[in-house]
Chains A and B, each alone.
Chain A
Amino acid sequence: MSLNSADIKRIAHLARIEVSNEEAEATLTKLTGILGLIEQMQAVDTTGIVPMSHSQDVTQRLRDDVVTETNQRELFQSIAPAVKDGLYLVPKVIE
């Protein structure tokens, strides 16, 4: 597996992070080192091993389907970058 800076730009786009060409080059070197480290895993035979997502084998709890949260719209929107009439403002999406 070897990456080039076009790959970096593609991954960055997936992650919604703008990168310049220079940044992509610099990131490429560091990411290649890290991916080299990760590559050590491929030497291990993991046939038949059940993937482990959590240490404790717990199942999701269910709760009663009742309202537990109170409306705190004003408080939560007080820290938003742009709001109007109780709505979050973003650039126009639908023409």
Chain B
Amino acid sequence: MINKSLKQLGAMLQDKEISSVELTQEFLNRIDRLNPEINAFITLDKDKTLAQAKHADSLLAAGKGTALTGLPIGQKDIFVAKGWRTTCGSKMLETFIGPYDADIIERFDGVGAVNLGKTNMDEFAMGSSNETSYFGKVQNPWDRSRVPGGSSGGSAAAVAARLCAAATGTDTGGSIRQPASLCGLSGLKPTYGLASRYGMIAFASSLDQSGPMAKSCEDMALMMNVITGFDQRDSTSLNREKEDYTRDLNKPLAGLKVGLPKEYFAEGLDADVAKVVQEAVAEYKKLGAEIVDISLPNTKLSIPVYYVLAPAEASSNLSRFDGVRYGHRAKEYGDLMDMYCKSRAEGFGAEVKRRILIGAYVLSAGYYDAYYIKAQQIRRLIAQDFENAFKQCDIIMGPTAPSTAFKAGEKADDPVAMYLQDIYTIAVNLAGLPGMSIPAGFAPSEDGKQLPVGLQIIGNYFDEARMLNAGHAYQQVTDWHTQMPEGIE
């Protein structure tokens, strides 16, 4: 049962083969057994979770169930949930109890889904390995000595270890797609503005988007139907008509133009990963897709641009943590300034501090034009690359990450090497486009383990239904997405 999709589990609930309480308890039992090692969840609240399951059962009994009613979902600990401890992976918020619900929490609650618990993450979503979490690193279920990716590493590991049927994530520079790739699951970052950022603890507001992490594209489509929609509480939320993301799942792919950016297959890409991605592309050819060579010439610049813009926005967003209204306050301090400086020094981890400092530096007097404005100008060039590319193709494919999961500690001391993990994902955030990663096979590690490889699919603005169609068609003819790691039975 643990390998069933949301869609299948939902059908079992509708047919009364199992109750939501039983299903939820099954996953809670698995968490009890496996989470002490994998560490995918930071906070559990079984009473709250089971109360939601009970409520879902009453909805189902009354015939008021919808697609996700009664299904247990892991919620990334970046989303504020009323009455739930919400830490964002930081000591700063170690004791923070959410006083309200994030939009995404409200939406899942609204359809009777069950909040199974809050998943681990890199501190304030700053990281690509989940090693910056104050609550300890997360193991990759495929090889416990390796990282699950980040920042949504807890959500990815939870789905991969079948501790939940699906989870939510957020993606500022690749934080849904890269962990999905490293843990062998499907993850989608929607077009910027489709999912509300209300109650999602802000990292870089012009880039942050939440999205689904699940076992299949069909499940992600069901979750997208819940996650997306206008929210007046988010100033960049887009007021568009609601879409049904399942509508095109079964469309044939004949004639679909798939663009392969030459920059995504250049130096820096692991040869075994390249091979898996090429095989996936060959499968798409068989499905009737037409392959087009394209170029995204400014790809390399996306990393420097991102490491100006994201820290700049972060330094501003994280200034709210001052030890006054909520969050950590130092025990001993002198005057107000000392209280701020000590509380922040104690509450933030090393990577978060580094990014705040970079942000403060690039925004400081005399440097603003040289860094911040320059980065925003190049951001436009990067967006124009995609605009030009989409004149030649319908969707873009390539690797999600340059390598498979790396060993814990391997890049922890080298921020620049860590940042390069996101070379193929960051440009998508800068342009505000939708991007997703789906399992495309396995590549051998240097010590002989078979590790998951993700295929990235990038769509034009608001083209999620087409991307999900492309992913679903592939998942009908391959079984990479249904494979489970060993040792999680």
Contact = CB atoms under 8 A, between A and B. Distances in A.
| A and B from one complex | yes
Interface of A: 8, 11-19, 27, 30-31, 33-42, 44, 46, 49-56, 58, 60-61, 63, 72, 75-76, 78-82, 88, 90-93
Given A17-B356, A38-B304, A51 B373 contact: yes
Contacts of A90: 324, 336, 339
Contacts of A58: 193, 236, 238
A11 B364 contact: yes
Nearest to B329: A81
Given A15-B357, A15-B360, A34 B416 contact: yes
A49 B381 contact: yes
B300 to A, nearest CB: 7
A90 to B, nearest CB: 5
5 contacts: A15-B344, A15-B356, A16-B337, A34-B307, A78-B97
Given A51-B377, A55-B431, A38 B356 contact: no
B8 interface: no
Interface string B378-390: 1111010000000
Contact of B358 (A13, A31, A82): A31
B357 A12 contact: yes
Contacts of B364: 11, 14
Instruction: Bin the interface of chain B by size.
Output: 35 or more
Contacts, number: 170
A41 B360 contact: no
Interface string B289-328: 0000000000011011101100000010001001111111
Interface string B175-216: 000000000000000001100000000000010000000000
B334 interface: yes
Given A18-B345, A44-B378, A50-B377, A27 B336 contact: no
Given A34-B358, A37-B303, A54-B236, A18 B192 contact: no
A52 B357 contact: no
A34 B415 contact: yes
Given A18-B342, A39-B304, A58-B236, A80 B416 contact: no
Closest CB pairs A-B (n = 3): A55-B432, A51-B376, A81-B329
B99 A53 contact: no
Contacts of B449: none
Interface in B341-373: 341-342, 344-345, 348, 353-354, 356-362, 364, 370-371, 373
A70 to B, nearest CB: 11
Nearest to A52: B380
Contacts of A27: 353-354, 357
B304 A40 contact: yes
A24 B23 CA distance: 51
B277 to A, nearest CB: 25
B335 interface: yes
B334 A91 contact: yes
A38 to B, nearest CB: 5
Greatest chain A CB density within 10 A among B319, B324, B333 is at: B324
A35 B357 CA distance: 11
Nearest to A58: B236
Given A11-B361, A37-B303, A53 B206 contact: yes
B40 to A, nearest CB: 26
A52 B329 contact: no
Given A15-B359, A46-B381, A51-B380, 13 more contacts: A15-B360, A16-B340, A33-B415, A33-B416, A38-B307, A46-B377, A51-B373, A54-B192, A55-B431, A79-B99, A80-B325, A90-B324, A91-B339
A39 to B, nearest CB: 7
Contacts of B327: 81
A16 B375 CA distance: 25
B66 interface: no
B105 to A, nearest CB: 16
A79 B97 contact: yes
A60 B97 CA distance: 31
Given A51-B376, A76-B99, A81 B324 contact: yes
A66 B325 CA distance: 25
